[in-house]
């Protein structure tokens, strides 16, 4: 007997905003210029209540193939547009996103589980990067270098790569795509996106908005193609020579394999992988700022940001005071755990049942190894995937649990005798994404940002580890993968560099004065 259909949230009047995004009970999850989907049907689950929002028909191998072919041929049209014209299309995409800011932000909240201001903030981040990319479209500058040969000109020029792939993680279901696609589009690339299997509705709704803009301008929709799917589609992208750059955001474990597969075919990759971010508190720090900043960085997004704080390294002189004040602050926010869409909620759910299991396993292992749960440690008995934010003491700084990224609101509190000892503790983990120090001492600051300071990609002073701005390059070192996205010169990764020497004389002098006569 066929299983009865669940009651989809999309049909509940509380979620009517989903229809404004063109979503239905069953949605096609592949876009290659037309919508299709011949693969598995997946249900999108709302982590705030465990109910099915709606379902999506993913892509299979043949859908993937048609996406690659359509997007490759769309490139022939797209790459011919002057960069400022491509910028104008991205400007229109930013405007289209602005007009859907609230419904799309709400969708991010109900599908991923982050609270509404963060859901809206994520869409806003895509809007902001569109604005940034519009400016960039007029400043993708090359260079002219002095040639050592008379009658010669030495130039550097940047050209688009072609088709690029974007594989994104569940925790930033739209912003990561935005960072990559807005910049890649002005650079002249076309994009094939595969989002996380558990956030397919955000992928579909976002692609509909982008596709509308492209098609209203008479451009092929496959400039921004989508193939919803799981590891099978991701693996096909990693192995596919036609994908010139693969931008992968996700766990270190999966990203390492993706990096190897892309390297095997001499493709380019951009890896944005796991973090294990620490805040150091020196004994001269402003402790009011510390408590406020630490609270947001540890419990915000229920600990599911790649930049969430996982380790707190307190100077021994302030250890007891900061731990005491932080525990008090946790007691206050724990009453504000709830449905991601509710105005009063500060901490939403974990994203999935799997995340909840991982939290439970980690808490059990912490206790087995002699760690002390100073606060939290429990799963909440209610529908959805809710846990208490958790503070752990008593584990050594080099315990393997402390070196591992558990993607949940668990923070390990460690003690250091000095700032140099705290810095070495910050640097000893495999990952190298984000890091912060709270201090008012200028010597500490320059130690921290110098050659023997933090070895992370993001090095903050008197602000927490999370909440990066788009203007800087975002990414991390070591097991975080080394990639950089968003601002600064990250655009160069989406282009290929040509070093061009033009001889406008009648002679053929060789470089380095070599004579070959
Ligand atoms: P994940 O590695 O499980 O999945 C990420 C993506 O990879 C998903 O789209 C998934 O379908 C796909 N995938 C799975 N197996 C694959 C394979 N064999 N080949 C190709 N693709 C495959 O990660 P997740 O649980 O979705 O996300 C959480 C992780 O992402 C955390 O480690 C977090 O730190 C990291 N993250 C990092 C950044 C950053 O910028 N550094 C940003 C967001 C998330």
pLDDT tens readout for residues 473-506: 999 999 999 999 999 999 999 999 999 999 999 9
Distance CA 309, CA 424 (A): 17
Residue 374 has φ and ψ, to the nearest 5°, of -75, -30
Q: Please report the pLDDT score of residue 6 as a whole number.
A: 80
Distance CA 429, CA 310 (A): 11
- Reply yes or no on whether 306 is catalytic: yes
Provide mean pLDDT across the span 142-153.
97
The answer to whether the beta carbons of residues 478 and 259 sit under 8 Å apart is no
Atom of ligand 1 nearest to the CA of 253: 2
What's the CA-to-centroid distance between 93 and ligand 1, angstroms? 26
Provide mean pLDDT across the span 369-394.
98
What's the CA-to-centroid distance between 475 and ligand 1, angstroms? 14
Fold of the CATH domain 31-273+481-497: Aldehyde Dehydrogenase; Chain A, domain 1 (3.40.605)
Q: Specify the higher pLDDT residue, 389 or 468.
A: 389
Q: Which position among 111, 125, 197, 272 bears the catalytic label? A: 272
Q: Sort residue 62 into left (φ over 0), alpha (ψ -120 to 50) or beta.
A: alpha
CA torsion through residues 375, 111, 482, 126, sign: negative
Distance CA 374, CA 357 (A): 21
Which of 44, 199, 254 to mutate to test ligand 1, by most ligand atoms within 8 A of the CB atom?
254
Q: Please report the pLDDT score of residue 389 as a whole number.
A: 98
| Closest alpha carbon to 158 in 501, 500, 502, 498 | 498
Provide mean pLDDT across the span 394-417.
98
Q: Please report the pLDDT score of residue 5 as a whole number.
A: 76
Residue 274 near ligand 1, beta carbon < 6 Å: yes
Distance CA 337, CA 87 (A): 41
Atom of ligand 1 nearest to the CA of 272: 41
What's the CA-to-centroid distance between 18 and ligand 1, angstroms? 26
What average pLDDT does the structure give for the chain?
97
Residues whose CB falls within 8 Å of the CB of residue 51, separated by 6 or more in sequence, listed in order? 6, 7, 9, 45, 383
Residue 160 has pLDDT above 70, yes or no: yes
Atom of ligand 1 nearest to the CA of 196: 9
pLDDT digits (tens, 9 = 90+) for 6-20: 899 999 999 999 999
Residue 191 has pLDDT above 80, yes or no: yes
Tell how far CA 141 is from the center of its chain.
26
pLDDT digits (tens, 9 = 90+) for 78-125: 999 999 999 999 999 999 999 999 999 999 999 999 999 999 999 999
What's the CA-to-centroid distance between 406 and ligand 1, angstroms? 13
Provide mean pLDDT across the span 263-276.
98
Residue 197 near ligand 1, beta carbon < 6 Å: yes
Percent of the chain with pLDDT over 90: 97
Domain boundaries, the chain: 31-273+481-497, 277-469
Tell how far CA 219 is from the center of its chain.
28
The answer to whether the beta carbons of residues 409 and 391 sit under 8 Å apart is no
Distance CA 112, CA 349 (A): 9
Cα distance from N-terminal residue to C-terminal residue, the chain: 87
pLDDT digits (tens, 9 = 90+) for 343-363: 999 999 999 999 999 999 999
Provide mean pLDDT across the span 58-87.
98
Residue 502: strand, helix, or coil: strand
Percent of the chain with pLDDT over 70: 99
pLDDT digits (tens, 9 = 90+) for 202-231: 999 999 999 999 999 999 999 999 999 999
The answer to whether the beta carbons of residues 222 and 190 sit under 8 Å apart is yes
Q: Please report the pLDDT score of residue 451 as a whole number.
A: 97
Q: Please report the pLDDT score of residue 509 as a whole number.
A: 86
Distance CA 375, CA 391 (A): 5
Residue 510: strand, helix, or coil: coil
Q: To which CATH superfamily is domain 277-469 assigned?
A: Aldehyde Dehydrogenase; Chain A, domain 2 (3.40.309.10)
Element (H, E) at 53: strand 52-57
Give the count of beta carbons closer than 10 Å to the beta carbon of residue 505: 10
Residue 170 near ligand 1, beta carbon < 6 Å: yes
Residues whose CB falls within 8 Å of the CB of residue 455, separated by 6 or more in sequence, listed in order? 426, 427, 432, 477, 478
Q: What is the DSSP string of 151-218?
A: TEEEEEEEEE-SEEEEE--TTSTTHHHHHHHHHHHHHT-EEEEE--TT-HHHHHHHHHHHHHHHHHTT
Q: Please report the pLDDT score of residue 2 as a whole number.
A: 53
What's the CA-to-centroid distance between 195 and ligand 1, angstroms? 9
Provide mean pLDDT across the span 460-480.
96
Q: Please report the pLDDT score of residue 513 as a whole number.
A: 87
Provide mean pLDDT across the span 425-444.
98
Q: Please report the pLDDT score of residue 151 as a whole number.
A: 97
Q: How far is CA 14 from CA 8, 11, 17, 106, 449, in A?
A: 12, 9, 8, 11, 48
Distance CA 181, CA 187 (A): 10
Residue 411 has pLDDT above 90, yes or no: yes
Residue 403 has pLDDT above 90, yes or no: yes
Provide mean pLDDT across the span 385-406.
98
| pTM score, whole prediction | 0.97
pLDDT-derived band at 510 (thresholds 50, 70, 90) equals confident
pLDDT-derived band at 3 (thresholds 50, 70, 90) equals low
pLDDT digits (tens, 9 = 90+) for 303-315: 999 999 999 999 9
Provide mean pLDDT across the span 500-517.
91
Angle between helices 61-78 and 231-239 (to 10 degrees): 50
């Amino acid at each position: 007997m066929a299983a009865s259909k669940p009651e989809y949230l999309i049909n509940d009047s509380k979620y009517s905003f989903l229809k404004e995004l063109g979503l239905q009970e069953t949605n096609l999850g592949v876009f290659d210029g037309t919508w299709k989907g011949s693969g598995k049907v997946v249900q999108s689950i709302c982590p705030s209540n465990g109910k099915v929002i709606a379902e999506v028909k993913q892509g299979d191998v043949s859908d993937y193939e048609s996406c690659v072919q359509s997007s490759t041929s769309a490139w022939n049209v797209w790459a011919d547009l002057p960069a400022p014209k491509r910028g104008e299309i991205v400007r229109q995409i930013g405007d289209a996103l602005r007009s859907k800011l609230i419904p799309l932000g709400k969708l991010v909240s109900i599908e991923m589980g982050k609270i509404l201001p963060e859901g809206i903030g994520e869409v806003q981040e895509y809007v902001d990067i569109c604005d940034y990319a519009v400016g960039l479209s007029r400043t993708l500058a090359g260079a002219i270098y002095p040639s050592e040969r008379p009658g010669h000109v030495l130039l550097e020029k940047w050209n688009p790569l072609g088709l690029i792939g974007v594989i994104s993680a569940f925790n930033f279901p739209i912003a990561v795509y935005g960072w990559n696609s807005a910049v890649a589009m002005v650079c002249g690339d076309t994009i094939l996106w595969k989002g996380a299997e558990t956030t397919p509705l955000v992928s579909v709704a976002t692609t509909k908005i982008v596709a509308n803009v492209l098609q209203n301008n008479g451009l092929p929709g496959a400039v921004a193609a989508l193939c919803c799917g799981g590891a099978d589609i991701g693996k096909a992208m990693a192995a596919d020579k036609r994908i010139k750059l693969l931008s992968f955001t996700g766990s270190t474990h999966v990203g390492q394999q993706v990096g190897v597969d892309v390297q095997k075919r001499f493709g380019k990759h951009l890896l944005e992988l796991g973090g294990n971010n620490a805040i150091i508190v020196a004994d001269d720090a402003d402790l009011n700022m510390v408590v406020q900043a630490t609270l947001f960085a540890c419990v915000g997004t229920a600990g599911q940001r790649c930049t969430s704080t996982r380790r707190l390294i307190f100077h021994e002189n302030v250890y007891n005071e900061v731990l005491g004040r932080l525990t008090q602050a946790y007691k206050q926010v724990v009453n504000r755990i709830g449905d991601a869409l509710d105005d009063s909620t500060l901490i939403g759910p974990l994203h999935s049942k799997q995340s909840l299991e991982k939290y439970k396993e980690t808490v059990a292992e912490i206790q087995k190894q002699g760690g002390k749960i100073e606060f939290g440690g429990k799963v909440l008995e209610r529908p959805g995937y809710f846990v208490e934010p958790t503070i752990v003491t008593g584990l050594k700084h080099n315990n393997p649990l402390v070196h591992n990224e558990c993607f949940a609101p668990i923070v390990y509190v460690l003690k250091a005798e000095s700032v140099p000892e705290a810095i070495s503790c910050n640097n000893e983990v495999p990952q190298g994404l984000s890091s912060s120090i709270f201090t008012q001492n200028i010597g500490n600051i320059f130690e921290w940002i110098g050659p023997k300071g933090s070895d992370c990609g993001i090095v903050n002073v008197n602000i927490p580890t999370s909440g990066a701005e788009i203007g800087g390059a975002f990414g991390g070192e070591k097991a975080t993968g080394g990639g950089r996205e968003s601002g600064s010169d990250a655009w160069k990764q989406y282009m290929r560099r040509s070093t061009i020497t033009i001889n406008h004389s009648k002679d053929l002098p060789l470089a380095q004065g070599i004579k070959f006569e």
